[in-house]
Each structure stands twice: as structure tokens, then as C-alpha cells.
Chain A
Amino acid sequence: MIRWLVGLIGLGLAATSALAAEPALIGVGYLGLAGTRSTLSLVEQPAENDGVAGARLAIEDNNTTGKFLGQRFALEERRIKEGEDVVQAATALAEKNGFIITDLPADALLKISDALRDRGTLLFNAGAIDERLREADCRANVIHTAPTRAMLADALGQYLVWKKWSRWLLVVGSHDEDKLFADALRRTATRFGAKIVQEKTFEDKGGARRTDSGVTLIQRQMPVFTQGAPAYDVLVAADESEVFGAYLPYRTWDPRPVAGSAGLVPRSWDAAQDQWGAIQMQNRFMKLNSRRMTALDMQAWTAARMIGEATSRTNSSDVKKVTDFIKGPDFSVAAFKGTRLTLRDWNLQLRQPILLVDGRMVVSVSPQEGFLHQVSELDTLGYDRPESKCKLK
């Protein structure tokens, strides 16, 4: 009996030490849609692995740190094809992964956040910029690393106002998301004292984005479309649907710069960003993925890095503990933007500087000098606490 007991204790000890040597596994899921959207510019056509490539790099970075702490990170990717059930896919991913990074439309994200709420899975919205996900439809189990339309519009608006280009000609596409971006731009104009001198709608009448003699036609259409506008300083385009925005620069009737969805574009990240030590990360990304890093890649990288940051700070792989730390007051993450990034505790949106890019260079970074705030200057971008309709649950 005693011998048997001793043997059992011995076995128990052996099992414990074996466990201690084994690194703690932290599963991170990535859930996105299959296929890519089509852009006007061939150069801007997203890669198949847009987004997940950033998460992959962060997992590598986390593993380099993890080897010193006995933590190992694994990424599981899942793409949903048309007609597939998103809740089913998310639930399957949540089996092994306590954290899921998503690049999904707002409705799909809301569905899975409600389905996974009781399970305790923490979701990171890396793709959807919709305001309502942080406002009326906010959820306590969704962290947003993607900026919002209002943040992007404010970042652009601050620069245009700083530049004293305060008379805007607003051209809006005919799709819902174009209208939402236009709403954000109107709000920005009101906040920062710019004037929208005229609004025009560009109807999407269908038609191909790639044609053999497209340039000739566009060159004739765009000047006529922008003819007869009242005096303005800058044309601001709201074309998230990629129907006309990129056709505007150099083709307006009056010689004016273009901003918004084309020309000077507000983004969370750009392949040209090389300040604040970013060059190291750009190099690592290029080495791993053989292409340059996009805003979506960065939003997914930041999500996966937030997980790694929290697991190393708490020295834990426990999802609840890590989640509490991320939502807590001591959390911040470094993301090559010259300042620490923190969460807005009222809606779990990541505060972040926004880059203004022209496709080749980073032209400026907002918030602009002189836009002050009592808590964080980053809160001059987007909806602030007093305006928020979010009640986290």
C-alpha cells in the first residue's frame, strides 16, 4: 500500500516537471472571408494573405519573446466562402483558440461575438471600420485594432485645416459604405471648421475596372464631372467601393489636390512608413511574406502583438486573465507609431495616430499639432467619451 502510494506520488512529480518544461500553448485564430476585393489601381490590389500575413509576423515576434518565458503561440487561419456559416466556423476556431482575430463585415462580427460571448473567447476586430461596432452595437468581447471612419476622416480633416485647405468639394459614391464615409467627413468638416462648398454623387453604373483603353475615356470623363464647381481648395472623395476615387487626381477641371479615398489617404499603416523604428518591422515583414505591409496587415499584427504583450506581462496563458489585463488600466502596446497605444475603455477601440499617405510617402501623421485634448491627443480623432453611445455588455 505504502509502496503503491510512493509510486503514485513519484508519478505525480514526474508529470508536474514534464509539464513545467513544456511551453504553455496560446492559440490565436484568424477568421476572414475568402477571396479579395477588386481595386481600381492594380498596384493596390490586396494579396490573398492580406491581414493574416501581419498576424503571422506578430506570432513569430511573440514566439521569440515566448521562448524566454515558456510560452508558444500558434496561429490557425480559417477563410469563409460564400454561403458558409460564420458562427459555425467561429465556434470551431474557438475550440482551440482563446483569441480570434477577425477581418469580417460588421454584421458577421456581431453574430459571432454574440455566439461566443459565454465561451469567454476574446475577439479582435482588425478589419471593420464601422462606427456602429464601437457605438450602439459595441460588444464587451470585441477589441478594435482597426480605426473607425470618423478617426480616419478626422485625421485627414485636421491636416487639411492645418494646411488651410478649408473649402472642400465632396464627391460621394453611391454605395452604402461610401455614404458612411461621407457622413464621417461631414462631421469632421463641422468639428474642425472646414466648409463643404458642394456635394456631388458619383453613380456606380457598373462596368469593368480593367479595360484596354480605359485611360482615354477617364481622361475625358473626369474633368467634365468636376466642371462648374464653386471655388474650392481640395476635392475630398468618399469612394470605399473603388468605383471612381483613383480616377480623380490630375483629372479635375480645376487644378486642385484630391484627398480621402484617393490622393492623400488616411490609413493606420503604409508600406512607406519608416519612422519610429518601423523600418525593422517592415524588413521583417518583407522577409517573411515577400511583399510590403498594408494597413490591414498592421491591424492584425497589432492584435496578435496585444495578445503577446498581455501574456508576457501577466506571465500567463489564461484567456480570462489575459483579457482582463488587456481591458485594464495598465495596458499599452508599442506599434511603431511614436507613442504607446492604449484602449478607449468605454468602447475598447485602440487609440492610434493615423498616417496620411500618397501611395509613395508618408506625408504627415495626425493628430496634428495644436489639436489638444485633456486626456490624450489621440482622442481628438473619432468619437470621444462624452459623445459615445456605447454601453459595453
Chain B
Amino acid sequence: MQAEVRTQMLRMWRVGLLSGLALAAAPAHAFIAYVSNEKSNTVTVIDTESWTVTKTIKVGQRPRGIDFTRDGKFVMVAVGDDDTIQVIDAKTQAVVDSLPSGPDPELFAQDAAGKFLYVANENDNTVTVIDLEKRARLGDIQVGVEPEGMTISPDGKTLINTSETTNMAHFIDTASRQIVANVLVDARPRFAEFKHDASEVWVSSEIGGTVSVIDPKKHEVIGKVTFEIPGLRKEAIQPVGIGMTKDDKTAFVALGPANRIAVVDVASRKVTKYLLVGQRVWHMAFTPDEKYLLTTNGVSNDVSVIDVAAQKVIKTIQVGELPWGITIAP
């Protein structure tokens, strides 16, 4: 009897020690999230420990695409109606510079080294290449009508651009800056995301209502993710943003006016769960420890916080008007 108690206590002590160790190994980091508010012309800064808004930065007109520089020192935000990309100093949280993008920049992608920036210019069917260090425009690549989604392969050799009215994913060789393949997807492709192992590219089609899975070597659509929500008409399901966990096991797809994030099993390409978030959800970002996923909900003017492991929405944070893009400090 006594021995049993002792063993139990010992076990409890061990558990306590172990969890203590685990905590020490991965301390709860506070991260800083930046959200672009398309209508209020501001960027909201969120602290991910307190989940509060710590600052609102005034930027140019119609801020949309937003991303940290690779060194984590600056935040770049595309201000489409000012035809430029503004640079925010992450330390002072103020706009300090701007980049020579083409007209009406919307989304952009950078290479792994953070040397080149590729910008989708919706108004003139081009992708602009910018040297980030020299802040110089290196040239343009002609693509389809209304270029939008942008992503780069993990090896940096292939840039994917989607064009919304042409309905294609253009595969561009980053060395020669030439289109090497065009893959037709469903209507109005908005966003492209590589699997971390580079074996697949996922492209969301907002009006088509699907996510196309493309083999980046064969340049072929090899599968499609489809969505169905009971009680919701098909037209309301409009996939836009995609986030994939680092182990390539789970994907999260924002479904726009369906007000939901679909949790997708990457291997089977099947939806396992729908998470109810704010209204017209478009883009998302993981915290670097991948504990949380933050989504921008345009019509309800807020950001939802999803506990990634539990696959649950745990919080809602009010931001500016029509929140569009989001990035989190590395």
C-alpha cells in the first residue's frame, strides 16, 4: 500500500519534472503580427502573448499584401492605390521607405535569401522583379490577366504566379525570368502555396470553389480539394488563403464568405473539419512555433486566433476596416 503511494508520487514528480523541462525547452514566445487593413489604410500591430492591439500604423492607400523581410527587420506592405510597396521598420513601427513596384501591386513573394522580390501588378498583367538591397526595379515578366497569387519553390528556382481572369498558374524560371509552363485551374485563382517538400503546389480558385493540387515537375493538376458545408450554398464557398504546417500534414484553407477555415488532410486531400471564424476570411499566418494560426476576416473587421493542435478558434481580435493580409515576425 505504502509502496504503491510512493510509486504514484514518484510518477507525479517525474511528470512534473518532465513538463517543466518541456516548458524550459520551448518557452512561450510572444510574437508580433502585422495586419493590413484595406479600407482604413492602416496596419494593425498585434502582440500574440496578450492578444491585444499594440499599435496602428498609418500607411498608403489600399494596403493588401504584407510580409516580413527575411531578416525580420522590416515589414513590406503593398499599397496598391499608391502604386508602391511601403517598408515599415519593425523596431520603430513607422514607414521608413518605399519600393519601386509596378502599378497597383497586390501580392508579392521573396526568394529564400531575401534578395529578390517578385510583385504581382494587377493592372498591367505583369510581375515586377525588384532587387531588395538596391531597392531597384530589375524588370517585368508578362503574365495573364490580373496576376495575383505568388509563391516561390523552396529551392528558389521556380516562381508561381496565378492570374485571376486567365485562370492559370504560370510557372516562371527565376534565373531566366521566362514562363516555362502554364497550368489551367478553376476560375479566379487567388493564392498559391508550395508544400515544404516541394512535391506539390496548391492553388485556390475563389470563384471555382476548389483548390487545385499541381505537380510542379510535370506541370499538371493531379488532384483537387473540394468543399461542402451543409446548409451553405455552393457559391458562398470561395477559397482564398492557404496555410500548410511545416510537416506538410495539415493544410488550412480560408473560404471567404463561407466564414470558415477548412482543415485539410494533405495526404488524402480531404477536409477533416470546418472552423467557424469571422466574416469573409481571406488570408492567414502561423506563429513561428506553429502553435497558432491567425486569420483576417474582412467583413467583421477582426482577426481570429486558431489553436493549431486543438483545431479550435480561441480568440477574436478587433482590427481596422477590411483586414486583408497578415504576417508574423520570424
Contacts and interface: CB of A to CB of B under 8 A. Distances in A.
A332 B145 contact: no
B164 interface: yes
Interface in A65-108: 65, 68-69
B111 interface: no
Given A65-B167, A339-B207, A340-B207, A333 B187 contact: yes
B144 interface: yes
Nearest to B187: A334
A378 B144 CA distance: 30
Interface in A277-315: 277, 280-281, 283-284, 305, 309, 312-313
Interface string B115-130: 0000000110100000
Contacts of A61: 145, 165-166
A377 interface: yes
A64 interface: yes
Given A64-B125, A280-B146, A334 B184 contact: no
B144 A65 contact: yes
Contacts of B125: 64
Contacts of B188: 277, 334
Given A64-B145, A376-B235, A277 B123 contact: no
B100 interface: no
Contact of B123 (A65, A283, A333): A283
Given A65-B167, A377-B233, A277 B144 contact: no
B208 interface: yes
B233 A280 contact: no
Contacts of A284: 123
Contact of B167 (A277, A281, A312, A378): A312
Q: Is the interface of B mostly helix, strand, loop or mixed?
A: loop
Interface in B198-219: 207-209
B61 interface: no
B168 interface: yes
Given A65-B144, A312-B167, A334-B165, A280 B207 contact: no
B98 interface: no
Nearest to B165: A61
B142 to A, nearest CB: 8
A381 to B, nearest CB: 14
Tell me which of B145, B163, B188 has the highest count of chain A C-beta atoms within 10 A of its own C-beta. Answer: B145
Contact of B145 (A65, A333, A376, A377): A65
Contacts of B184: 69, 312-313
B182 A68 contact: yes
B307 to A, nearest CB: 31
A334 B164 CA distance: 9
Contact of B168 (A68, A334, A340, A376): A68
A40 B235 CA distance: 38
Contacts of B208: 332, 340
Contact of A340 (B146, B166, B235): B235
Contacts of A65: 144-145, 163, 165-168
A332 B163 CA distance: 17
Interface string B270-289: 00000000000000000000
Given A277-B122, A334-B165, A340-B209, 8 more contacts: A64-B145, A68-B144, A68-B168, A277-B146, A280-B123, A309-B167, A313-B184, A377-B233
Interface of B: 104, 122-123, 125, 144-146, 163-168, 170, 179, 182, 184, 187-188, 207-209, 233, 235, 257
8 contacts: A61-B165, A64-B125, A65-B144, A69-B182, A283-B123, A334-B165, A340-B235, A378-B235
The 8 closest A-B pairs by CB, nearest first: A65-B166, A334-B207, A68-B182, A334-B187, A339-B235, A340-B207, A334-B188, A61-B145
